Amino acid sequence: MSEKKYRVTFEPEGKSVYVLDGTTIYEATDEAGIIIKSECGGVGTCGNCKVIVIKGDYEQTGSERFLTDEEMKKGLLLACRTKIKSDMVIEIPLASRLFEQKILTEGLEKELKLSPNVRKIYLKVDEPTLEDPRADLDRIWDGLKKISCNPKIPVDILRRLPDKLRKGNFSATVVLNADEIVGIETGDKSDKNYGVAFDIGTTTVVGYLHDLNNGKQLSAAARTNPQTSYGDDVITRIDYTNTHKDGLDELHERIASCMNDIIVELANDSGIDKKFIYEITTTGNTTMNHLFLKLNPKYIALNPYVGVLRSNIETRARELDIHINRYGKIYSMPNIAGFVGGDTVAVILASEIHKSDKLKFAIDIGTNGELVMGNRERLVSCSTAAGPAFEGARITYGMRASDGAIEKFVINDSDIEINTIGNAKPIGLCGTGLIDAIAELRKRNIIIRQGKLLKRDELPSELPDFIHERIISHEKFGTSFILVPGRDSQTGEDILLTQKDIRETQLAKGAIYAGYQILKSILGIADDDITQVLLAGAFGNYIRREQAKWIGLLPDIPTEKIRFIGNAAGVGAKMVLLSKELREEACRISQNTEYIELAVRSDFQKVFTDSMFYPECMTCK
């Protein structure tokens, strides 16, 4: 007997999918390609995946503890705790959606000497005669002026060689990847030679298509990493591969199909055929690299936090289910350690800290915060478990940097000014809005150094009434600050900054700041010795430096020393696509950068606790 299938329609987009009896709503959203918020990867412990059942039967357990009475009256349920038992219509509220965020595809643009690994050479060879009976491959090999008599070529390319040569009257384009022939094309196709560089982030994936003949970038495209629906951080995803039989295959399949979609978009945007893409370079944190390479990441999460490989690796694209030219290859950048990956190598390569005489400090604030400090003589790195608070996750009204997100929050003398992305009515707040809100409240001692949000009757008396009125005692969230009243928000609900959000931010910024302090102490330097702080990553590019100093996310050093370097990880991936010499340099960076495991340091706990305080900003104007 066949299993029952139900049609599930998601509103407001009206998208329908068919699912088996007993599938959870969470799984069905995934089928429909709708990404909803989840920290726990759908195991029912975060309370983020709230949906409203408009029609249909279901079976649910364990939603109650995450829902207020009012939410239950409105029919809200947790998607991951609710099984589908009939055809259904389900609304996914704005607050539960993970939007495509404003993704940074630009970074430091570098000038470099073009020397791609893939070259195309057009050859016109002599036709064979009785006087010149050299074999077809010998003709090609001689034409390439190769001295060795050991040509590397896949045997199925060889099988098609005779016909290809004759079809083109003995003219052909040879494609070389390093010293291996990876293609023979009829006639002159030497102008069609492309490669893609990928930055595989925990949250976002960005691809850049380049013409390998002149190095020019032809297009860039980005997507949310679809693995996000398995959990918003690397540990949850590693856990998924450990607890599900086909978990690793599933997560690999998700990232590969996302990259394939990006490749199609890049090719369409630039009007090229993807069969002329011969090479892909990738960078990402160590876990993302493992999941993409289909390597078991299990031991990265276990003491002593070791991955399967640290070095770079090259493999055929089709072995990893990536659809470019059939003989195309993938070069995956080397890592530094279990929690400092190829993306940090790429940041170092792009920012050239490893060549600098002066001391510099680079931070890539993503779902984790990766830190590097030093100069040409010594580089030290660490990873901090900052969590995704600055990406809007685990924040009560948090959201990613997309339309409707409060990205700027300023308290003026008589009112509050906000900006949202896309100038849309506010829905929630993204990382920059979160930093602004906390910094603005901290400056006025509404949040004290220890991180407590004062109640209305504890506020400094000189504060104006409009600020007093915004402090409330919420039934569920306790003391909270109304950032936007319900009458002005898109959802009709007040948008709050809660005490829990302030604590969550303290943990995140405290982890990053503690990493900074420990790297400084290892190098034996003070704040003043650092000549530049480089902020990498999508988030880094949008934060207001003074505000970040006010909350103690960045060191209290003159603002002009803090520089944005954009998506430096993406730039690093492009650099190794365009220059094989830089692959050697990336390899040296990976080997020479010291990794500091914060968790095993006896001073970490104390430094972390001290770093959680909100400071006074001495250098803010």
> Which DSSP string corresponds to 600-611?
G-TTHHHHHHHH
> Which candidate, 406, 327, 323, places its Cα nearest to that of 156?
327
> How many Å apart are CA 554 and CA 564, to the nearest integer?
13
The single-letter DSSP state of residue 236 is H
The single-letter DSSP state of residue 299 is G
Stretch that binds ligand FES, among 45-53, 396-404, 545-553, 586-594 (CB under 6 A): 45-53
Q: How far is the CB of 5 from ligand FES (least distance, A)?
A: 23
Asked if 535 touches ligand FES (CB under 6 A), the answer is no
Those residues whose C-beta lies under 8 Å from the C-beta of residue 338, and which sit 6 or more positions away, are 286, 299, 300, 305, 306, 307
Compare residues 229 and 593 and give the one whose CB is closer to ligand FES.
Answer: 229
Asked if 48 touches ligand FES (CB under 6 A), the answer is yes
Q: Are 97 and 34 in contact (CB under 8 A)?
A: yes
Asked if 93 touches ligand FES (CB under 6 A), the answer is no
Asked if 398 touches ligand FES (CB under 6 A), the answer is no
Compare residues 67 and 313 and give the one whose CB is closer to ligand FES.
Answer: 67
> How many Å apart are CA 319 and CA 61, to the nearest integer?
41
Q: How far is the CB of 44 from ligand FES (least distance, A)?
A: 5
Q: Are 118 and 195 in contact (CB under 8 A)?
A: yes
Look at residue 239 and give its three-state secondary structure.
helix
Write the binding mask 5 to 44 for ligand FES: x where contact by CB under 6 A, - elsewhere: ---------------------x-----------x-x-x-x
Compare residues 80 and 483 and give the one whose CB is closer to ligand FES.
Answer: 80
Q: How far is the CB of 479 from ligand FES (least distance, A)?
A: 25
> Which candidate, 598, 573, 597, places its Cα nearest to that of 586?
573
Compare residues 62 and 460 and give the one whose CB is closer to ligand FES.
Answer: 62
Compare residues 46 and 511 and give the one whose CB is closer to ligand FES.
Answer: 46
Asked if 116 touches ligand FES (CB under 6 A), the answer is no
Asked if 46 touches ligand FES (CB under 6 A), the answer is yes
Compare residues 60 and 186 and give the one whose CB is closer to ligand FES.
Answer: 60
Q: How far is the CB of 228 from ligand FES (least distance, A)?
A: 11
Asked if 47 touches ligand FES (CB under 6 A), the answer is yes
Look at residue 237 and give its three-state secondary structure.
helix
Q: How far is the CB of 50 from ligand FES (least distance, A)?
A: 8
Stretch that binds ligand FES, among 73-81, 190-198, 560-568, 583-591 (CB under 6 A): 73-81
> Which candidate, 388, 396, 289, 304, places its Cα nearest to that of 346?
289
Write the binding mask 600 to 619 for ligand FES: x where contact by CB under 6 A, - elsewhere: --------------------
Strands 594-595 and 379-384: parallel
Asked if 78 touches ligand FES (CB under 6 A), the answer is yes
Q: Are 533 and 555 in contact (CB under 8 A)?
A: yes
Q: State the first-to-last Cα distance of the chain, in angstroms, to the nearest integer.
A: 73
Amino acid identity, position 55 = K
Compare residues 96 and 282 and give the one whose CB is closer to ligand FES.
Answer: 96
Q: Enumerate helices (H) and strands (E) in the chain, giving the number of each.
A: 16, 28
Q: How far is the CB of 62 from ligand FES (least distance, A)?
A: 9
Q: How far is the CB of 75 from ligand FES (least distance, A)?
A: 16
CA 48 distance to own-chain centroid? 20
Asked if 98 touches ligand FES (CB under 6 A), the answer is no
> Which DSSP string corresponds to 507-564?
HHHHHHHHHHHHHHHHHT--GGG--EEEEEHHHHTTS-HHHHHHTTSS-SS-GGGEEE
Number of residues engaging ligand FES in binding (CB under 6 A): 13
Compare residues 42 and 398 and give the one whose CB is closer to ligand FES.
Answer: 42
Q: How far is the CB of 396 from ligand FES (least distance, A)?
A: 15
Write the binding mask 326 to 365 for ligand FES: x where contact by CB under 6 A, - elsewhere: ----------------------------------------
Exactly one of 17, 35, 80, 345 binds ligand FES (CB under 6 A); that residue is 80
Phi, psi of 594 (to 5 degrees): -80, 140
Please give the residue ranges that form the binding site for ligand FES (CB under 6 A). Answer: 26, 38, 40, 42, 44-49, 78-80
